[in-house]
Amino acid sequence: MVEVTVTPQSSLADRPVQIQVRGLSPSQLVTLRAWLKDEQGECFQSRAFFRADGAGEVDPGLHAALGGSYSGVWPMGLLWFLQPDTLFRRLVKRDVAGSPFRVRLEVFDGVCLGADPREQPLASCEAERWYVGPGVQRVPVREGRVRGALFLPP
């Protein structure tokens, strides 16, 4: 049974995570896809093609991506190379304290170039990427023409 995991499953957006796929056939060619919807409902996604090792595992931190949104060994590549489906959109988090970005990770058999809704992933999981840690207090700043926010640690 194929399984994809993200460790830790919930983390701050600037912290590294480990992505692993297990249960593949040795040397199996797979596509790893990451995608999320921003607060306006815009979809951002990335994909990378990998060949499983002799144990039937893929780890983007150890194995080089053969192509896709990037190539080479990039442990966080699937998260760093997210691109909008609509040109000229930017991934911006406005509500930094209220909710995380929920990134969906999926594994497909072979090279998967499009988002064919009929194609079922071999496995999937979800990761939460928070922009403010637990207990951090957000204080609005309004002084003269200065506007901003001060984030105070717990």
pLDDT of 117 > 70? The answer is no
The backbone torsions φ and ψ at residue 79, rounded to the nearest 5 degrees and listed phi first, read: -90, -35
> How many Å apart are CA 74 and CA 5, to the nearest integer?
16
What mean pLDDT comes out for the span 119-140?
94
Q: Number of H helices and number of E strands within the chain?
A: 1, 11
pLDDT at res. 116: 65
Q: Answer for the pair 36, 104: CB distance below 8 angstroms, yes or no.
A: yes
Condensed to tens digits (0 to 9), the pLDDT of residues 18-76 reads: 999 999 999 999 999 999 999 999 999 999 999 999 999 999 999 999 999 999 999 99
- Classify domain 3-152 at the CATH class level: mainly beta
CA distance 122 to 107: 6
